[in-house]
Chains A and B, each alone.
Chain A
Amino acid sequence: MTENSIVEILIVEDTAEDLELTLRALRKANVSNRIQIARDGVEALEFVFCEGPHAERKIENIPKVILLDLKLPRLDGVSVLKRIKTDPRTQSIPVVVLTSSKEQSDVVESYKLGVNSYIVKPVNFEGFMKAVQDLGLYWLLLNQSPKMES
């Protein structure tokens, strides 16, 4: 990741298998946007708010969408969501929550914090397409993003 390339999708996921399946689903949906991966809640917030290893990043270059797992080491997904959705600089970023079951409490709690969509894992082609539709992010499916080479 170089400084001047803009990350368009942030995936926050700790389980390697789930991550791989998610990346595979994106690939199958012909998504070739630049992807950043965070393995826990702290890493995710560091990236979004340009702290720690990402201190050089500009916060104005917000990701176009965040795929967020709820169950994460260190800082859980709900806390991450709360930070992102309460900060005026980041609250407009669409967040798709990845849930491991249809347990209602997860979904309800996420919605209270302004979740834009959710996918029940494993993330497969159909589930990802559904989320894209919910968000109206069809541009994600274009092979070339207009801002890629700025």
Chain B
Amino acid sequence: MLHKNTPIQKKLMAVILLTTTLALLVSGLGFITFEIITIRGNMMRALETRANIIAPNIQNSLLRREPAAANAVLSGLQKDPRMISACVFDDAGRLFGRYPATAPDDAFPRSPDEAADHFGRDFVTAVSPVLLDGRQLGTIYLKSNLSALTERYSGYAMISATILLFSLLTAFFVSKALQKQISLPILTLADTARAVSEHGDYSVRATKHGADELGLLTDTFNHMLARIQEQNRGLRQLAAIIEATDDGIISKTLDGIITSWNPGAEKLFGYRADEVMGKSVIMIIPQELVHEEAEILKRLTRGESIEHFETVRLRKDGSRLNISASISPIKDASGNVVSISKIARDITAQKRAEAQIQQLNADLEQRVIARTAELQAANRELQHSRAELKSIFESLPGLYLVLTPELEIVSVSDAYLNATMTTRAGILHRNLFDVFPDNPADKNADGVSNLRASLDRVKQNGTADTMAIQKYDVRRPDGVFEERYWSPINSPVFGADREIKYIVHRVEEVTEFMRRKGQMASNGNAALSARVQQMEAEIFQSSQKLQATNQQLEAANKELEAFSYSVSHDLRAPLRAVDGFSQAVEEDYAAQLPEEGRRYLKTIRQGAQRMGRLIDDLLTFSRLSRKPMLPQAVNMDTLVAEVWEEFGAVNDGRQIQFHRDPLPSCLGDRALLRQVWTNLLANARKYTGQRDVAEIAVGCTLQDGEPVYFIRDNGAGFDMQYADKLFGVFQRLHHAHEFEGTGVGLAIVQRIIHRHGGRIWAESAPDQGATFYFTIQTEKTA
């Protein structure tokens, strides 16, 4: 009746009814049993009592030996239909009287000894002695049927059945009313669970009906649903990732049977999921790598994970695939490995790149080794040739001294040491003039000053300087000076930075020659010797003169510079007064001046300021000749951009289209070249002042393989017949009221270009704009 699938409502009902029935039955049975035992006792006692009542009536008949009388007494029993039989035994144990009178002997016990109080199956017997004064006259035996009992039985049964029925009915209705409290929440829960399982909808929630265990169950259930919902979301995300990723994600059983295969794996291996599901993973493992799988399995079953395991797998088309696999065991709740997941990434490209890098590295290493060897060889070579050069230099027949620009002796040839009676250790790293002072005994000695002047010229001009024959006495080790004549030449040696690094001082000793001249004079070849002597003297004198003039010229140059500097400063003082006081008048007394007077003042100030600019420009111009050049690689692009940007800062509201082509770099003095571009760009701006849209272009063309920088404008231009005046100082081709200027700008530009060994020229026509071209000659070797 209670099948597993029976609804819980019926189960509950059945349980209640069954329990009720059983309880009733057990209690009823107990009650009835007790009743029956009691009744049976009572029946026995009633029968015994009856026998005792009958006994006195029997006494007489026994005494008188009248069985009929006994039978008559006994027949009174017929009033009771339940009585089956009765008999009286005499004192000898013989059957004396009976009931029913007709009953055969065997209906009774054969002797009183056999008779006893006894319950039979459907009868009950009682025995009682017939006593008279303590003497047993006989025995009465009564036998009754159990109909009374049976009646009671059926009575009990009837009552019990009625009670049972009534109880069951009551129980049924009561339980029906009460069970709702239990079954309703369960049913709600069941309905919710069904909804969840049928529609996979984890968002529904069961209604809670109370705070009892069922309420708790509902809460737990809802909580579980929430957890599932959350996990589901996570799972969906994971699934989406697995679907979308390019990595192949595979899961398999412990014996290598594929159980899942994502689209990434399809792409990677070329197999569709339905082609591999349920098959062994061996199908994508190359023959020679099958052993890997066993090893992997062994490690995974130990619970280990394998990360970034690089191996080779087969695609469906048989091609081989380099993959990096991360393999991890999937464990059940108790930690047993139940399956395996594997993420495979295609690293074919990576492998190829790695191989390339390795190859490149190997190549590089080879090259480095080769290069290192080369360098070492070159270094040895260099060391060798250095030593060789040193010994060659030192054994040169010529007389050489190598000096730093500070005149420290750094190298010397053996011949020089011999000629000057010095030793290498004695002069190296000492100052030239400490080692070779003038002969204090010779009042006219000018060797030191002449040599110093020559060396200064070398340093200043960066060119070799040949000196006239010098009398420059040398000191012997014993301190005595010996007369010596020399013909020296000093030449600069430039370093990589184009600065003078060394000065080579080369001399020829001409003392012997000078002495022989004297001998020739005394040898009588008077005419010839006089002539030679005269010539020598003339040469010596004129070169001495030349030397002196040269030095005077230098001094004059310096004086001139100081003069122009001083003049331009002194010129400024009165100018300042003119401008300053004009300004003071303007500021303090403008109101008292008529319009005309104010205009005059303005003109005075303009004149003074213009003269100030002229002086400034003159100063700049004169400075150009005395400022030493610092040649370096100059990026013309950046330079022009910088200069133009500075102009841009002056926002005069003009519309200027500026175009700059890429310019080649050059070798020159950056500050001076900056001046060139500043002046040229300023000119271009100035002379396009009357154009609505000024156009200025800077570029470079090649002429006979030489770069020619140019700057072109669409300004006022000039007449080519005056082109030769263009670059002269204070030369102007336009009137001051048209275009302001001092007429020095282009002269400065030309001076700088010439100092750089370049050329500058211009092309133009009146009102057709102008183009200025220039070249910068630079040493190609730098």
User: Which A residues are within 8 Å of any B CB, using their own CB?
Assistant: 15, 17-18, 21, 24, 71, 100-103, 121-122, 124
Contacts and interface: CB of A to CB of B under 8 A. Distances in A.
Contacts of B565: 103
Interface in B481-499: none
A21 B585 CA distance: 11
13 contacts: A17-B574, A17-B576, A17-B580, A18-B577, A18-B580, A21-B584, A101-B619, A102-B616, A103-B569, A103-B619, A121-B576, A124-B580, A124-B583
Contact of B573 (A17, A24, A103, A124): A17
A73 B565 CA distance: 17
A123 B676 CA distance: 32
A141 B577 CA distance: 25
Interface in B558-612: 565, 568-569, 572-574, 576-577, 579-581, 583-584
B583 A71 contact: no
A71 B576 contact: no
Nearest to B579: A122
Among A15, A17, A122, the most chain B Cβ lie within 10 Å of the Cβ of: A122
Given A17-B580, A21-B580, A21-B584, A101 B572 contact: yes
Contacts of A124: 580, 583
A17 to B, nearest CB: 4
Given A24-B584, A101-B619, A124-B583, A18 B569 contact: no
Contacts of A24: 584
Given A21-B581, A21-B584, A122 B576 contact: yes
B580 A101 contact: no
Given A18-B580, A100-B576, 14 more contacts: A17-B576, A17-B577, A17-B580, A18-B573, A24-B584, A100-B569, A100-B572, A101-B568, A101-B569, A101-B616, A102-B616, A103-B565, A103-B619, A122-B577
Contacts of A101: 568-569, 572, 615-616, 619
Interface in B357-390: none
B568 A17 contact: no
A145 B637 CA distance: 56
Contact of B569 (A17, A71, A122): A71
Contacts of A100: 569, 572-573, 576
B308 to A, nearest CB: 65
B334 to A, nearest CB: 83
A18 B576 CA distance: 7
Nearest to A104: B623
A100 B568 CA distance: 10
A40 to B, nearest CB: 15
A28 to B, nearest CB: 8
A78 to B, nearest CB: 14
B615 to A, nearest CB: 8
Nearest to A103: B619
Nearest to A22: B580
B576 A21 contact: yes
A102 B613 CA distance: 12
Contacts of B615: 101
B565 to A, nearest CB: 8
Contacts of B619: 101, 103
Contacts of A21: 576-577, 580-581, 584
Nearest to B620: A103
Contacts of B583: 122, 124
A24 B581 CA distance: 10
Contacts of B579: 122
Contacts of A15: 573, 577
B588 to A, nearest CB: 9
A124 B579 CA distance: 11
Contacts of B616: 101-102
Nearest to A122: B580
Nearest 5 pairs of A and B residues by beta carbon: A17-B577, A122-B580, A21-B580, A122-B576, A100-B572
A71 B573 CA distance: 11
A15 B570 CA distance: 11
A83 B577 CA distance: 30
A144 to B, nearest CB: 25
Contacts of A18: 573, 576-577, 580
A88 B578 CA distance: 40
Interface centre among B565, B576, B581, B616, by most chain A C-beta atoms within 10 angstroms, is B576
A110 B573 CA distance: 20
Contacts of B569: 71, 100-101, 103
A17 B572 CA distance: 12
Contacts of A71: 569
A122 B569 CA distance: 13
Contacts of A102: 616
Nearest to A71: B569
Contacts of B574: 17
A52 B574 CA distance: 32
A49 B17 CA distance: 132
B221 to A, nearest CB: 82
Interface string B750-781: 00000000000000000000000000000000
Interface centre among B569, B573, B580 (most CB of A within 10 A): B580
A124 B588 CA distance: 13
A24 B580 CA distance: 10
A21 B615 CA distance: 21
A124 B580 CA distance: 8
A88 B584 CA distance: 40
B507 to A, nearest CB: 38
A100 B565 CA distance: 12
Interface string B294-312: 0000000000000000000
B585 to A, nearest CB: 11
A101 B584 CA distance: 20
Nearest to B588: A24
A127 to B, nearest CB: 11
A101 B623 CA distance: 14
Contacts of B581: 17, 21
Contacts of A122: 576-577, 579-580, 583
B764 to A, nearest CB: 33
A126 B361 CA distance: 68
Contacts of B584: 21, 24
Nearest to A121: B576
B606 to A, nearest CB: 16
A79 B89 CA distance: 182
Among B565, B573, B616, B619, which residue has the most Cβ atoms of chain A within 10 A? B573
Interface in B182-207: none
A100 B584 CA distance: 18
Contacts of A103: 565, 569, 619
A43 B58 CA distance: 189
Contacts of B580: 17-18, 21, 122, 124
Contacts of B573: 15, 17-18, 100
Nearest to A18: B576
A24 B582 CA distance: 13
B608 to A, nearest CB: 10
A71 B619 CA distance: 17
Most buried by B among A17, A102, A121: A17
B634 to A, nearest CB: 20
Which of B565, B579, B584: most chain A Cβ within 10 A?
B584
A73 B576 CA distance: 19
A21 B581 CA distance: 7
B577 to A, nearest CB: 4
A71 B579 CA distance: 20
Nearest to B572: A100
B564 to A, nearest CB: 12
A125 B616 CA distance: 23
